[in-house]
Amino acid sequence: MTILKDSYGRAIRDLRVSVTDRCNFRCFYCLPHGEPPAAPKEMMLSYEEIEYASEIFVALGIEKIRLTGGEPLLRRDIETLVRKVAALPGLHDLALTTNGFTLAERARGLKDAGLNRVTISIDSLKPEVFKKMTGVDVLDRVLEGVRAAQRVGLTPVKVNAVVVRGHNEDEVADMAAFAREHDVLMRFIEFMPLDSGHEWSRADVVSGREIRATINERFPLVPVHTERGAETASRYRFADGAPGEIGIIAPVTEPFCGACSRIRLTADGQIRTCLFSKTEHSLRDRIRSNASRAEIVEYIESVVMKKEPRHYINDAAFEQPARTMSLIGG
């Protein structure tokens, strides 16, 4: 079987596919000034194009696909796409990242369509802080989405929290308690420079080390693995055997680029070789120019060979990508 590898010998196993650039939340670390103008509909990949691209990627060794956005559940009939992608031979895992707004009523349909699991963004367990961070007052609705996902078997459920100083760092241990109580995989993520306002500041970053220490003080942690491989998170279980798990994703203070296995496809069909890439590569144009399958495979392989050795957040000359997280896909 063909295995996609970049010029540094890293095997590319994970594909993040953004299905929309729209979102109904206004998280300050992503869209503090509202959504940028939506791309024209004809620029967006159709479900058939996403299915075709995904099939080729899987044939090239991609094992995991994650559907992202924007908010992917805003894309009409997303269950149709889930069904198409889930049926691809060779795909081992199909996940979806969501803000959870409509998950409670759609979890069953997504599971029946073939989705394996979900990741839900919850940056605070305090309604007032949640509203301040996301721009919407719907914490109860999102928590019901967590319960619905567990009921229908979209498990293990991951819960993502972006930790930002002055906003929610005082809740880290409480979120760990939530993981124990509800048996979820809690993922704490360092604040990254991907906001549309370009107002990111290093002073607002709560380091992975600080997050770990805060949780460990209340709930002693034990590493799940001594080597995490290509995983983005350093994973921990609770020393007392309680359910749930803690993961810490620290791309700013503890970069893990050397084992990166990911590639991204934006909703308008651009391949991004890194979350912080300054260059995009149009797979959409290749597909729509009636390129042969062999030509598309060759193009994908050539783009992967251009994958950066690392991100450059910590370099003095670092420039934030023009696209926000909502446009790139998480």
Strands 245-249 and 14-18: unpaired
User: What is the C-alpha to C-alpha distance for residues 303 and 293, in angstroms, rounded to an integer?
Assistant: 15
Nearest to 262 by CA among 319, 304, 302, 315: 304
Domains of the chain by start residue, with CATH: 14-328 (3.20.20.70)
Q: What is the pLDDT of residue 229?
A: 65
Residues 6+ apart with CB under 8 A from 294: none
**Other CB atoms within 10 A of residue 202 CB:** 11
- The sheet carrying 117-121 orders its strands as 221-223, 234-238, 245-249, 185-190, 158-163, 117-121, 93-98, 64-68, 14-18, 262-265, 270-272, 281-282
State pLDDT tens for residues 301-317: 999 999 988 776 766 66
Please classify residue 294 by burial: count the beta carbons closer than 10 Å to its beta carbon, then call 0-12 exposed, 13-18 middle and 19+ buried.
Answer: exposed
- Which long-range contacts (C-beta less than 8 Å, at least 24 apart) are formed by 78-81? 78/19, 78/110, 79/106, 79/109, 79/110, 79/112, 79/113, 80/47, 80/113, 81/19, 81/47, 81/50, 81/51
**Other CB atoms within 10 A of residue 259 CB:** 13
List of the chain residues with pLDDT < 50:
none
Q: What is the pLDDT of residue 201?
A: 82
Alpha-carbon distances of 306 from 3, 159, 176, 301, rounded to whole Å: 16, 32, 39, 9
Q: Is residue 162 within 8 Å of 193, Cβ to Cβ?
A: no
pTM of the model: 0.92
State pLDDT tens for residues 254-276: 877 768 899 999 999 999 998 87
Rounded to 10°, the helix 172-182/208-218 angle is 60
User: What is the C-alpha to C-alpha distance for residues 120 and 187, in angstroms, rounded to an integer?
Assistant: 10
Task: Tell how far CA 226 is from the center of its chain.
Answer: 23
